[in-house]
Amino acid sequence: MSSPSKFVAILNPDYEPVVEREMFAKAGYQLIVAQCSTDEETIAAVSEAEGIIDIYCKITDFVARNIPKCKVIVRAGVGYDMIDVKACRANGIQVCNVPDYCTEEVSDHAVALMMMLQRKLMQHFQFVQAKKWDGMLVGEVRRLNALTLGVIGFGAIGRRFAVKMKEIVPNIIAFDPYLDDGYFQKIGVKRVGVEDALLNSDLISLHCPLTPENYHIISNDILNRMTRKPIIINTSRGGLIDQEALIKALEEGLISAAGLDVVENEPNVPQKFLTMNNVIITPHTAWYSTDADLEDRTRSVEDVLRVMHGENLSFIDA
């Protein structure tokens, strides 16, 4: 008699999961691919699955309580904001993510956005396109090594960004409530409180997860108190910034520029952003390189299989 089929699932992928299907098939698992928009659809899709790779599907407490065969959920990415981790673990489901697969890419992207905006490259190009060969048309450009860079969130990506920027902007201050002082000292970065970092920086880069505590950490109140007219970069989560408040601050000249790889309610970008020549928006692509993509996908499969084989997950941070 043949053994019963073993199933795993991948939820809401925006690509064809060829790599995942091949890896699971080799291990004796059949891959279910599903697009789910409600709890009921999710539960129905994964009712037979022992493991789940979650791309863009909300895993709620209700879902966690109604998928009894599931042993593990791997978030194929950095954040946990779409998974109720506590509920999953309370129902015997192990949860992990792949937090470091794109550290180089995201930190590179943040550097690129910062440099492009501070050197006003987009405005220069627009003037050249208009056949205006005059480097003074963009207005004042300040010397980078005389400025202060504030890093909000000093995890792996924030630290790597700081290392890359250190040669360009020696004076770096950073906020992170969870790390020991040694992480800051090793790189030569001054540890400060969140308001100190936001109010005393000429350049600000956000590298923190989206949590209830830091939702709209860039708020109307904090923007109105910024006197240094900083450039703000966000390659983390759109919900860290109150978009309407940022638009208002840009219009009033309280903020010099903004580089956003993420926005709230993606892919819906406020029209006002698209009319501003001191705003750059990229489509949540800071994570991407062919190398990072393959690493994320293969490591997600490997962690599901680890649990299936009775082994420990490679990384747990929540």
CA nearest neighbour of 206 among 274, 265, 263, 138: 263
CA nearest neighbour of 29 among 56, 10, 1: 10
**Main-chain phi, psi angles of 178, to 5 degrees:** -105, -10
Give the span between the Cα atoms of 197 and 206, in whole angstroms.
Answer: 11
Give the span between the Cα atoms of 87 and 84, in whole angstroms.
Answer: 5
SS3 198: helix
DSSP at 149: E
Give the span between the Cα atoms of 85 and 45, in whole angstroms.
Answer: 20
**Main-chain phi, psi angles of 96, to 5 degrees:** -150, 170
**Main-chain phi, psi angles of 151, to 5 degrees:** -110, 120
Give the span between the Cα atoms of 312 and 292, in whole angstroms.
Answer: 23
Beta-strand runs (E) in 29-97: 30-34, 49-54, 72-75, 94-97
**Main-chain phi, psi angles of 315, to 5 degrees:** -155, 130
* Tokens at 82, concatenated: 């779409």
Tell me the catalytic residues: 237, 266, 284
